[in-house]
Amino acid sequence: MEFGVEQHTGEKLMRVVMFTLALSAMSVLMFNFVLPQISEEFGLTNAQVSWVTSSYALIYGIGTIIYGKLADRYKLKDLLTFGLLFFAVGSLIGLTSQTFWMVLVGRCMQAMGAAAIPATAMLIPIRYFSPERRGSALGMAFVGLALGSALGPVISALILSVAHWRWLFCLPFFILITLPFYRRYLGDERGHYRKLDWIGGGMLAVAVTLLLLSVTVGGGLFTIGGLLSVVFFIVRIRSVTEPFIQPDLFTIKSYTIGLVITFLISGIGFSLYYLSPLLLADIHHLPASWIGLALVPGAAASAILGRSGGRLADLKGNSFLFFIASMLLVACFILLSTFTGISPIFIAIFLILGNVGQTFMMIAMSNSVSMTLSKEQAGVGMGLLTMLNFIAGGMATGIYGKMVDMGSAGHWNPAHSYSNGAIYSNIFLILAALHVAVLSLYVIQFNKGIFFQSKTVGDNQTINEK
């Protein structure tokens, strides 16, 4: 009976999480459309104004693992209250900003607060749902992200048609509506009190920042500094009694390989959100408003089918969902590679396959990785997983941008017959091949079901390795 009540509470919480994630995703995406206006108003270069989004992604990614670590020490409801209030304060600063540095401070404070949201979204399914129901719960979380992605461009265009771009900072205030529900339904449980290694956390933040800069900005010094910071971080967590991340976490083979696969598929999947708008602008010469509309069907399909993907993982297993997701993504990339010059309507249809596939993929991997962790490891373990998603996205942006700038003189896809768009065709063909390679790695490592024992493994157990 007690378990049934807990699961009923978890379902209520996941509905609130879905709404929270939708608003959070909208807040992230809406500012991508106003960077040219911010640049013009403050007289900035594209590189300078890009920090409005880059700083948000960087702080958001690092913040998720910090909140995940703090969730092992403090009540989740208190952390979430702090995060959402901080998010609102950052929005207020951005709304009243008169200089670029105030806009940047507002976005950074938004990121520092919003980072509590994905940490909560990953921990609630682990704490309130049995393993055999966890896929459906995670599906609801990804439905929220997909809804935000679908509505973000539309609401952004609507606000910009009647008001100044600063009013985009108003939308996050609606996130405060969720606070009473979190305070009511989240329990008072907390992990064991442990000293927090802020030095180790700082080393990790420096390492991530420098490695991202080495890819997005370039420069050997950033690369060397990032690698040295990684070494110092490893030495640190092995030499202190209460490290920021327990080294034993990486001795779980299935968890470590799961992180690697998630990093790869996140970087590949980010092409759908970064390269597709560039393709529609460079090859089809669509304005920003029409590009936003072209991306809506894919995000809407993900929102509609996301929970079904979670149920499919519960019924058929994560491996089944992973395979379907891989087929959808490979089909999307091959179609985009072959028909770069086709009507934008068909591009939007191809992106439906990719968006749904990416949503299914992330549900399968999040569910799979969660099964390898005990409740004591869940906070930092899932926080690290979420952080890698953002690191992969940031690095992929730099890599894709450089590849597009380099251009291509040849067509690698023999079926591509258009006179322009060769570089996009080649990149999408590479991504299709990479997904086939990732699927092969997944099958080789987990073909005996190491990740797919959710119907027989208890909620507090860690899946045994082969």
In sequence order, what DSSP letters do the residues of 172-241 get, joined into one string? GGGGGGGHHHHHHHS-----------HHHHHHHHHHHHHHHHHHHT--HHHHHHHHHHHHHHHHHHHHSS
Separation CA 62–CA 450 (nearest Å): 29
Give CA separation, 228 vs 59, 187, 232, 259, in Å.
Answer: 21, 41, 6, 21
Q: Please, what is the angle between helix 271-282 and helix 288-316, to 10°?
A: 150
Q: What's the CA dihedral at 171, 177, 181, 184 to 10 degrees?
A: 130
Average pLDDT of every residue of the chain = 80
Cβ partners under 8 Å of residue 421, min gap 6: 279, 282, 283, 340, 341
pLDDT at residue 3 above 90? no
Q: What local confidence, expressed as pLDDT, does residue 335 receive?
A: 94
Q: What local confidence, expressed as pLDDT, does residue 43 receive?
A: 83
* Contact by Cβ (8 Å): 236, 203: yes
Q: What integer is the mean pLDDT of 292-310?
A: 82
Q: What integer is the mean pLDDT of 139-157?
A: 76
Q: What local confidence, expressed as pLDDT, does residue 450 receive?
A: 41
Separation CA 17–CA 27 (nearest Å): 15
pTM here?
0.74
Nearest C-alpha neighbor of 329 from the set 272, 386, 373: 272
319-360 pLDDT, tens digit each: 888 999 999 999 999 999 999 888 889 999 999 999 899 889
Q: What local confidence, expressed as pLDDT, does residue 260 receive?
A: 87
Q: What local confidence, expressed as pLDDT, does residue 333 receive?
A: 95
pLDDT at residue 152 above 60? yes
268-283 pLDDT, tens digit each: 988 887 788 778 888 8
Q: What integer is the mean pLDDT of 390-400?
A: 74
Cβ partners under 8 Å of residue 69, min gap 6: 196, 201, 244, 245, 379, 380, 383
Give CA separation, 329 vs 7, 176, 335, 425, 434, in Å.
Answer: 33, 36, 10, 15, 11
Q: Is 96 left (phi over 0), alpha (psi -120 to 50) or beta?
A: alpha
Q: Greater confidence, 216 or 3?
A: 216
Q: Greater confidence, 164 or 5?
A: 164
* Contact by Cβ (8 Å): 302, 355: yes
Q: What local confidence, expressed as pLDDT, does residue 370 receive?
A: 79
pLDDT at residue 318 above 90? no
Cβ partners under 8 Å of residue 313, min gap 6: 135, 136, 138, 139, 320, 321, 363, 364, 367
Provide, for the chain, the percentages of residues in helix, strand and coil under a 3-state DSSP scheme, each rounded to the nearest 5: 80, 0, 20
* Contact by Cβ (8 Å): 106, 323: no
Separation CA 147–CA 151 (nearest Å): 6
- Domain borders along the chain are 2-196+244-446, 197-243
Q: Greater confidence, 152 or 360?
A: 360
Tallying the residues shown for the chain, one arrives at 466
Q: What local confidence, expressed as pLDDT, does residue 314 receive?
A: 82
pLDDT at residue 166 above 90? no
Burial of 419: CB neighbours in 10 Å, binned 0-12, 13-18, 19+: exposed
Collapsing DSSP to helix, strand or coil, 284 comes out as coil
173-221 pLDDT, tens digit each: 888 888 898 888 887 666 555 677 788 888 888 888 888 777 766 677 8
The separation between the first and the last C-alpha atoms of the chain, rounded to the nearest angstrom, is 35
Q: What integer is the mean pLDDT of 19-40?
A: 78
Pick the CATH number of 2-196+244-446 from 3.20.20.70, 3.40.50.300, 1.10.357.10, 1.20.1250.20: 1.20.1250.20
Q: What angle do CA 102, 107, 108 make, to 5 degrees?
A: 95
